[in-house]
Every structure is written in C-alpha cells, then in structure tokens.
Amino acid sequence: MADTIPIQRILLLRPSALGDVCRTVPVLASLRAHWPEAAIHWVVQTTFCPAVEAHPALSGVIPFPREAFRGGWRRPRKWMDMRRWLSSLGRGQWDLAIDCQGLARTGLMLRASKAQIRVGDRAAREGAWMACNRRVRVPVGTHEVDRMLLLAQAAGSEPVADTALYVPADGAAWWAECRKALPEGPFAVLAVTSRWPSKAWPVSHWSDLAARIVKGGLAKWVALPGSRGESAAVAAAADAIRSRGIEVVDFSGQTDVGQLMALIEAAAFTVSNDSAALHMALGLGARCLGLYGPTDPAIVGPWNHAELAIRAPLNEGECPAYRDRRIGDSIMRRLGVDPVMERVEALAERWVR
C-alpha cells in the first residue's frame, strides 16, 4: 500500500514520556531519509515540544495538551475540548500516520487522523492496535528503538541510526546567560531522581560517586537537574554531596525541557538513572552512563551503545517489575560505586571535549 499511495504528509505519534520522545528521533530520521520532500509533523505533549521542535528533519510539532484534557471522561467540557482537538488532527490530510506509543490515547489520535495508512504495533496496549490498518508483529525482547523502527519499515522506510537532538534557540540563549553565574570549570550532570523508586540509585551512592568524580579530576563541580516535584529529593542529594566537600548547583524545578537540553549538552558528561536525562544525553553527544536495575538496558538502554549502561546484578531467575513499589531501591543498591566509577573512568577519554 505504501508503494502505491504518494506519501506527502506524515503524522508521527509519540507524545510522551520525555525519554521516549527523545529516543523516537531515529524514526523521524528514517522517515525523512525515505521521503525527503514530505511534510512530517509530530504530536508531542506540550511541555515536551522543545525536545524535538528544533530538529531539522521535522516540519512541525502538534502540541498535545495532556494536562488540559486530564480527567475528561468525568468532565463533559474537557471531553468536548478533547473531541475538538482530535477533529482538528483529522483535518491534516495525512497520507501516513505511525503510532510509536501504542496506548489508548494514541490509538484515538491514530483513528482521528484519518490517514490512509495507519501503522502500529500488533501488541499495542489498551486496544490501540484496533486503530491500525497495518499492524506490525515485533519479536519479544526487541529494543524499544528497534521496535519503533520496525513500524517505520512497515511504512516503507529503511532504518537510519541517527539519535541526534538539537537544543532550541531559547534554551541555548538561557544557558549562555546562566553560565556566567555558575562555578568555573567542567561539570558533570548527575540525574539522581526517577519517577519509580525501583530505578533510583541510593543517595549515599550518588554522594560517593560525586566525590570521586571531582577528586579524580573528571569535573570541578556537579549539576543536579530535576522537575519541580522532585525538588525535595534533589535537595537531599545535594546536601549529601556538599557534605563531602563538593560544589553542587541544584537546578531542580528551574529548567524547562529546552534548558535541560542546553545544560546536558554543555556538561562534560551525564550519569543518570534510567530516566529522560539519559536518553537526552545520548542524543546530545553520547557522553553519558545509565544506571540500571529492574529495567533491562538491552530493551530500554542507550540504543546501539551497550557500553553506556551498567546494570545491578540480578539473582538467578529474578525478573523484577519496576512498577512494584515494594522493592524500593533494593535492586539498585546492589550496583556499587566501584564498578560505576570504573566505567566512568574507562569512558572518560571519549568524553574529553
């Protein structure tokens, strides 16, 4: 079908989460390489638009105001706003739409797009697969980026291994001004928080790592990013690191996505839990190391860069579920500071700017 229908307008659906948005960029690059003249638009959660809006392969972003629609099933006015938004999506005259997320809301978007070709994962959750007229079977254990590239291949494109992200102009301008007031010398970004407690490395480990990074000469100081809701956790980590005599700048709740991108791009390197900061750092120079425990880096780690992930040891037959809050940081605690520091040192020459 893709061979017989002229593809002039393409809709890419991957509104969230931020880390997933960042690692969907190879799909955009693949589509652009195959259809160089097509208009390609990407539906992205409003607050995450800066992550991709400056990408040269993208024709435009379509903001998805998720917070404005939250709880719409209980509030008729919000539901009507959502219906109007979906109707506007359907006026795009799309030839091809690809659902890279595979949830109920993106299934609704895919159906509403009225695209002639609607591609999605055969195993998409919450009934999202029903909106597709081209369903792709993905082998179990496939890396998340490769899974999405299989969807693009089903539409007719060949995979392009391009993860590059681009800092938006306002983010770069913010950093140019902000940098004047910060400590001198190279710095490391330590992304110490995670939405899921099971993915979070203990604060004691972070403080030890920060001390070893600075005293080992790999950085002069450390920057701690985080959302407004993570400010308390970041502040606790900052206090623990300062107690080791290390200079810290707490950026939690003070940066939007574009500003976070500028911060990470300027850093000597980033060490992160399995979170958005890691996937952002991969696209901004691949000077990063991801710390993994209950999640498998072979599926959700830095794509095509196994050396940029290190995982806590698991017991034989252990298959932890990261959403199980009962496990706390018990698995991440098994990942010692020594192996993490050894990996950072081994990669340091590559990270020299």
Phi first, then psi: give them for residue 73, nearest 5 degrees: -65, -20
Domains: count for the chain: 2
Burial of 4 (0-12, 13-18, 19+ CB in 10 A): exposed
**The domain boundary residue, chosen from 155, 185, 201:** 155
Q: What is the pLDDT of residue 73?
A: 61
Low-confidence ranges of the chain (pLDDT < 50): 1-2
Q: In what order do the strands lie in the sheet with 39-45?
A: 60-64, 39-45, 9-13, 96-99, 117-121, 134-136
In a domain, 248, yes or no: yes
In the chain, the largest separation of any two C-alpha atoms, in whole Å, equals 65
Same domain, 96 and 183: no
Q: Are residues 107 and 174 in the same domain?
A: no
Does the bond joining 124 to the residue before it have cis omega, within 30 degrees of 0?
A: no
Q: Are residues 289 and 344 in contact, defined by beta-carbon separation less than 8 angstroms?
A: yes
Return the pLDDT at 70.
Answer: 74
Please, what is the Cα angle at 254 between 170 and 248, to 5 degrees?
A: 115
217 and 336 share one domain: yes
Query: CB–CB of 324/198 below 8 Å?
Result: yes
CB-neighbour burial class of residue 338 (10 A; exposed 0-12, middle 13-18, buried 19+): exposed
> Do 257 and 135 have their domain in common?
no
Residue 140 resides in a domain? yes
Distance CA(53)–CA(84), nearest Å, equals 23
What is the model's pLDDT at position 75?
Answer: 67
The string over 152-184, giving b where at least 16 C-beta atoms fall within 10 Å of a residue's C-beta and e elsewhere, is bbbbbbebbeebebbbbeebbebbeebeeebee
For 30, the token pair is 């693949």
Report the 10 Å Cβ neighbour count for 263: 28
Please, which residues bridge with residue 228 across strands? none
State the chain's mean pLDDT as an integer: 95
Residue 88 in tokens: 């506007």
CB atoms within 10 A of CB 353: 9
| Cα 338 from Cα 341, distance rounded (Å) | 5
Same domain? For 138 and 193 the reply is no
Q: What is the pTM assigned to this prediction?
A: 0.95
Q: Same domain, yes or no, for 57 and 174?
A: no
Which residues form the domain of 127?
9-155
Considering the domain architecture, whether residues 131 and 184 belong to the same structural domain is answered as no
Give the residue from 155, 180, 211 where a domain finishes. 155
Same domain membership, residue 208 and residue 89: no
Give the per-residue pLDDT at 72: 60
Which residue in 276, 237, 275, 229 sits closest to 253, CA to CA? 229
Q: Which of 155, 183, 207 is the last residue of a domain?
A: 155
Residues 129, 188: one domain? no
